Amino acid sequence: MSERQKGGDFWVERRVCVTGGAGFLGSYVLEKLQERGAKDIFVPHIEDYDLVQPVGVKRMLADARPDIIIHLAANVGGIGANRARPAEFFYDNLMMGTQLIHESWKAGVAKFVAIGTVCAYPKFTPIPFREKDLWNGYPEETNAPYGLAKKMMLVQSQTYRQQYGFNSIFLIPVNLYGPRDNFNLETSHVIPALIRKCLEAQERGEREVVVWGDGTPTREFLFAGNAAEGILLGAERYDVSEPVNLGSGQEISIKALAELIVRFTDFEGQLVWDTTKPNGQPRRALDISRAEELFGFRAQMPFEEGLRHTIEWYREHRRNMRSEEKVR
């Protein structure tokens, strides 16, 4: 079945605004929208529209005049970035989400697709994470400001539907990975960071790569192209404000992940675990049954295959990416 057949004519006559469309996940969402026949796609760039500021949100809505908003934009990073800038992560993400939903309702936007985060789940959520457990405790401390800011979109989605009949949905993707990810070591997540560390150590003839924590935490990863598919299926078929997980259903320890990356990058040295650094949340693995039941989403990319694609892409692009970092 083609992408166009999957979406039918849902996107053909609709004006779509994708915040964060210039980013990692956004690039995949844009590709899939175009494959589905969307012709009128508006991508606001931060240089033109500061969505943390009310004036930027209002001007964007006036310029885009969207029927549907897919809100991907976020100030985001790994554990180190979250520890260094918790106030920024809280404020920026809270203000973007709150104002976008409110002004979208006022402007008569037909549907708002809010993208949450797995960081919103309580630190000790039973495995697998079920949507009903979202409120059963405080998130893991290093990610809590970011996770709670994003979770406020769920509250707003539900209350605006209840009081105003505003059609918004809230999707919770697990950790994403894939080609085009952020490989900047200051802000990247675990997969791109480890890929870069192993390849650069190999290039310099170094015998060790340092990894944060002790390797025992587990994570679940979703290929970004699969996440984009889940988001569009939700936009097309789901019209309820109850949260829905988007994941792959495969849990892996950080230790096993690091060993896979060592093998796939042909790094011949050793992993050194820096236990003075935080582990983050002890385990992450989602119950992904609701997404399949409610709008037919199931991840297709096998993890090892997706990991190989990501490493291959970075091998091809890393010289250009490092040159850009130096310019900045």
Q: Is 295 left (phi over 0), alpha (psi -120 to 50) or beta?
A: alpha
Neighbour order of strands in the sheet with 218-223: 175-177, 218-223, 251-253
Q: What is the pLDDT of residue 1?
A: 56
Q: What is the pLDDT of residue 252?
A: 98
Q: What is the pLDDT of residue 80?
A: 85
Q: What is the pLDDT of residue 44?
A: 98
Compute how many other C-beta atoms are within 10 angstroms of the C-beta atom of residue 211.
21
Kindly report whether the global pTM for this prediction surpasses the value 0.85: yes
Asked about 146 being catalytic, the answer comes back as: yes
Q: Where are the beta strands (DSSP E) in 123-280?
A: 168-173, 175-177, 208-212, 218-223, 244-246, 251-253, 270-274
Pairing label, strands 68-71, 40-42:
unpaired
Q: Count of alpha carbons within 13 Å of 159, Cβ hemisphere only? A: 9
pLDDT tens for the 328 residues of the chain, in order: 555 556 679 999 999 999 999 999 999 999 999 999 999 999 999 999 999 999 999 999 999 999 999 999 999 888 888 899 999 999 999 999 999 999 999 999 999 999 999 999 999 999 999 999 999 999 999 999 999 999 999 999 999 999 999 999 999 999 999 999 999 998 888 999 999 999 999 999 999 999 999 999 999 999 999 999 999 999 999 999 999 999 999 999 999 999 999 999 999 999 999 999 999 889 999 999 999 999 999 999 999 999 999 999 999 998 776 656 555 5
Domain range summary for the chain, segments of one domain joined by + = 3-181+220-250+283-301
**Active-site choice (49, 146, 160, 238):** 146
Distances in Å between the alpha carbon of 111 and those of 104, 123, 210, 263?
9, 31, 45, 44
C-alpha torsion sign, points 83, 84, 87, 88: negative
User: How wide is the angle at C-alpha 237 spanned by C-alphas 110 and 94, nearest 5°?
Assistant: 55
Nearest to 117 by CA among 145, 91, 92: 145
Domain 3-181+220-250+283-301 has CATH 3.20.20.70: no
